[in-house]
Chains A and B, each alone.
Chain A
Amino acid sequence: MAILETTDLKYTYPDGTLAVEGISVSIEKGKKIAFVGPNGSGKSTLFLLLNGTLEPQEGKIIFHGKPLLYDTPSLRKMRKSIGIVFQNSDDQIFAPTVYQDVAFGPTNLEMPEEEVVAKVNETLEYVGLLELKDKPPHHLSGGQKKRVAVAGVVVMEPEVIILDEPLANLDPVGADEILDLLNELNQFEKTIVISTHDVDFAYS
C-alpha cells in the first residue's frame, strides 16, 4: 500500500539549476527504501519536496491517497507524519539541552505537558540517551548528536522517517548503532527512507 507517492515531479532551484525532473516514485508502507545516487543528484531536494518544504513546479505529492495542498494545516499534518533527519546534526539541534530539543516537536503539536514529558523520556531511553538529557549539544559526540536528531523526529511518532545520509560523519560503531535503531523502528512498522551513496549500505 503506497503511503507516499509522487507523480512527474519537477523542481528547479531559484537560480535556474534543474534539480529533479519527471520523478514518479511510490513508497510503500512499512518498507525500507534507499535512494542511491552520486552527490548532487537531487536526493536531498527530493526529500525537501516530499515534506512540503519546497513546492514543485510540476507534479504532485500524494500522501495517503490525497494530493498535498500547500496550506498551513495540511503541511502541519503532513510534517507530523513525515519526519526528516538532516545530514548534519548541527542543522537540526538548536536547543540548549538535549531534553529541550527532543521536546520541541511534541510541544509544537500541542500535547499536554505531562504527555510531552513522558514521551520525551520514553524516546530518550529508546535511543539510549536518557543520562545525557541535560547536556548541551556541544558536549556530545557526532554519534550522540545524530541520535538526538533521530529522537527529535521519532518522538513525534511519524509514519515515515526520512534520513538524509544518516551514516555520514559517523564512525563504524556509531553507524552500527544508528543502523540497529533504524531496523528496530522498521519493526515497529515505520517506513524508513534513506539516501546514501554507499551502495553496500543500501543493500544491507
Chain B
Amino acid sequence: MRAMQTQKIRLWFSVLITAITIVAAAAPAHAHAIAGMRLFPATLTFDDPGVADETSWIFSHINAGGSQTNILNLAYAKTITPRWGLVVSTDYQSLLPGGLPALRGWDNVTVAAAYQLFKHEDAESIGLLSLADSIGDSGGRAIGTPYSTYTPEFAFGKGFGQVSANWLKPVALTAAVSESFPANSSVSRTLNWAFSVQYSIPYLQNFVRYVGLKAPFNNMIPIIEFPMQTCLDHGCHGQTTGYLAPGVIWIGHYFQWGVELQVPVNHRTGNSVGILFGMDFYLDDIAPHGIGAPLFH
C-alpha cells in the first residue's frame, strides 16, 4: 500500500517537473514576429515588426545613374527580455561609378533598441518602437560618415485573418515609418516610409483552405515591398525616391530566404532594375535555450 502511494507521488512529481520544465522552456516563444496564427516574415527592405533573436544577411545589386552598387547588409538582433531587444547592423558597400575610381568599404555601425509595443493574437496585429543610432566614424572612410544619425521608428503588421472573404484571409500588411536625424545640420533629414503586401500560402493551406500545394511552394509568401524615402529639408525638400520590390520569401524551420526585384518608382531613383537576395536565421529556433533565448524573462 505504502509502495503504491510512493509510486503515485513519484508519478505526480515527475508530471509536475515536466510541466514546470515545459512552461519555463516556452518563454522564448515570445520572440519571432508571430501574432496568433500569423507569422510575419522578415522583409528584405525594411524592419519587420517583431522583437526577435535572428541574424539577417541581405545582398543587393543595382545600377543607377551609370554607377553600379553592391551592398551586403549584416544584422544581428538579440532579445534582452521577451519585449526588449537590441539590433546591431552594418553593411559592406561596393560603389562603381562609371569612369571614376571605385569606392569600397564598411558603412557605419548602427545600434538600435527595440520594444514590442503590442501583439494581439486574435487581431493578428503586432507593433514595435525602436530608436537607432548610426554611430559616426564607426565605418570605413570611403563609405561611412563622420557624424551619427538618429532614427526613431514605428513598425507594425496586420493580418487579414478576421475578414469574412476567404481569399483575403492569407493577406497581411506590414509597414514602418521613421525619421532620420543626422547630427550634422548640413545634411538633410529624411522621412523613411515603407510598407509590404504579403500573401501567405502557409496561412492559406493551414487555416483557410488546403489547395494541394507541396514543397517548396507550401512555405512561400509572395510579397511586394515599397521602401520609400522623402527628403525633408535643404535643397531636396519633398523629393521622394524609392523602389517597388516584388518577390517571394520562403520560410522554414530555422531560416528564411527571399529574392526580390528592385524597380525604381521614379527617374530620380534610377532607371534600371536591381535585385535583392536575403537570408534570415531564426536563432530562437536554432538555439532556443542558448543565444536564441532572451537574457532575462
Tell me whether A and B are bound partners: no
